A = this chain, B = another copy of it.
Amino acid sequence: SKSYNITLLPGDGIGPEVISVAKNALQLVASIEGFEVAFEEMPMGGAALDAVGVPLPAETLNSAKKSDATLLGAIGGYKWDKNEKHLKPETGLLQLREGLQVFANLRPATVLPQLVDASTLKKEVAEGVDLMVVRELTGGIYFGKPRGFSTNENGQEIGFNTEVYAAYEIDRIARIAFETARKRRGKLCSVDKANVLEASMLWRKIVTALASEYPDVELSHMYVDNAAMQLVRNPKQFDTIVTNNIFGDILSDEASMITGSIGMLPSASLGAAGPGLFEPIHGSAPDIAGQDKANPLATMLSAAMLLKYGLGEEKAAQRIEAAVLDALNRGFRTGDIHSAGHKLVGCKEMGEEVLKSI
């Protein structure tokens, strides 16, 4: 029977709690669908800083590279916030993305009928929202050079970064976005700031040039400031959004908050070949860490994305997705999505309820 190696990176804060629950789910669906999963748990982020002094140990990156897919919990916390840049948990995450060459970050934002009240948006605006942000993840201002500190001609201290995209980087992320839109509702909105930035002008040119290869996808363009508005005004207008690294960081977080249930949202980061990286959108929530209060559903849905996009095990993925919905339908809620009339449970119990549903 088939067998997969999965690297688990629990990370910091609530990371270990949600990873442990998701691991159980992966194990259960594997046994039902008749394949094997072997896990390797590795340190990363603040946990790795504390243990071995770097946020991404070479062994961790190697494990992720050799495995079939990696599931990450969350990283970061107040404890390491003042660290120098190369000793920040976040730097480890950027190194992991770069090391795995996962340039395509898929971030769905969906409002489930069961949770429409959790949104701060009016019901008629929030209900039915179902969009996907395709964010470029290994280029742009996050990695662009030159970068650093210097002094200008007047002896003034300056800090600088470079937003830069090469044609091939735009081409490959745009192709993923067109393919994604094609499998969804056939609408792709490319977000840029082409009225000001040259990097965005090239972005728009390359995306536009690809449109003829995807005649079944309806392509539109939007400036990033307008996109930030339209997500609040009428998020239902969006199907698939494609954008650069920094705009994607901002807009995907905005979109996730529009659903009101950021504790529910998974993400997948994929490369051209090689293993993908899967993680919940939410952070490490140090304030509730270790208290069995975290919502494990985003990590379980990330495990579902891992099964679907990472291993090609569609059926196992669907089992987890259906079980998450079933647990919600049976009224179970963690604190972040709880409302009157539902059963408030902790991280572990929520995990067990999903397992029952599987």
* A interface with B by C-beta (< 8 Å): 85, 88, 90, 94, 120-122, 125, 141-142, 144, 147-149, 152, 154, 156-168, 193, 195-203, 224-226, 228-234, 246-247, 249-254, 256-258, 262
Q: Is the CB of B253 within 8 A of A228?
A: yes
Quickly give the copy total for this chain: 2
Other-chain residue from B152, B161, B168 in contact with A162 (beta carbon distance below 8 A): B161
Q: Is the CB of A166 within 8 A of B156?
A: yes
- The verdict on A149 contacting B195 (CB below 8 Å), with A158-B166, A225-B250, A232-B254 known, is no
Q: Is the CB of B246 within 8 A of A90?
A: no
- Ranked nearest first, the 4 interchain pairs of A and B with the lowest CB-CB distance are A159-B202, A229-B257, A160-B164, A228-B254
Question: Which B residues touch A234, using CB under 8 A?
Answer: 120
In whole angstroms, what is the CA distance A234 to B120 when docked?
A: 8
Question: Which B residues touch A262, using CB under 8 A?
Answer: 229
Question: Which B residues touch A142, using CB under 8 A?
Answer: 196
Q: Is the CB of A226 within 8 A of B253?
A: yes
In whole angstroms, what is the CA distance A152 to B170 when docked?
A: 14
Q: Is the CB of B195 within 8 A of A88?
A: yes
In whole angstroms, what is the CA distance A230 to B253 when docked?
A: 10
In whole angstroms, what is the CA distance A164 to B146 when docked?
A: 11
Other-chain residue from B121, B160, B198, B253 in contact with A121 (beta carbon distance below 8 A): B121
Other-chain residue from B162, B226, B228, B257 in contact with A251 (beta carbon distance below 8 A): B228
In whole angstroms, what is the CA distance A149 to B31 when docked?
A: 53
Min CB gap A336→B, angstroms? 11
- The verdict on A160 contacting B198 (CB below 8 Å), with A121-B122, A250-B224 known, is yes
